[in-house]
Amino acid sequence: MRKITEDAAFREQTGKSELTVAVFKTTWCKDCHFIEPFMPDVEKKYEGRIAFIEVDRDDLADLCSELNILGIPSFIAFRDGKELVRFVNKLRKSREEIEQFLDRALEVSNALPSSAQ
């Protein structure tokens, strides 16, 4: 998962026409560490369909405030600079719940017209 540490890099990646899922975490979050063992397998499962980026909420506090990121870990799907769907709550997230969210993000993205401009 590509770690994003600058606002400009975040906006560049989420502005692309490919589906990008941003995972918002922190180093001190126990629930964020809970998902670490299985996220590489999840990324492989969606390889070629979803680009994953990681954002440390403490590194980009202004961006996270702008996006209203309160609970972590949080997952937000973007395409063409627009938020499509989010999975944000204060509860621990299971692999099954994350994959359900990713499937939903793909459904939403696939239902939109492609940005051939």
**Per residue in 82-101, pLDDT tens?**
999 999 877 789 999 999 99
Tell me, yes or no, if 64 is annotated catalytic: no
- What the block records as the tokens of 52 is 């994953």
Active-site residue, from 21, 32, 42, 72: 32
Do 21 and 27 touch, CB atoms closer than 8 A? no
Domains of the chain: 2-109 (3.40.30.10)
Say yes or no to pLDDT of 48 above 80. Answer: yes
Q: In Å, how far are 40, 68, 89, 114 from 104, measured between CA atoms?
A: 19, 21, 16, 17
- What the block records as the tokens of 62 is 């202004």
What's the CA gap between 117 and 115, in Å, rounded? 6
The residue type at 65: S
Instruction: Taking residues 3-29, report their average pLDDT.
Output: 96
Rg (CA), the chain: 13
Active-site residue, from 29, 85, 88, 108: 29
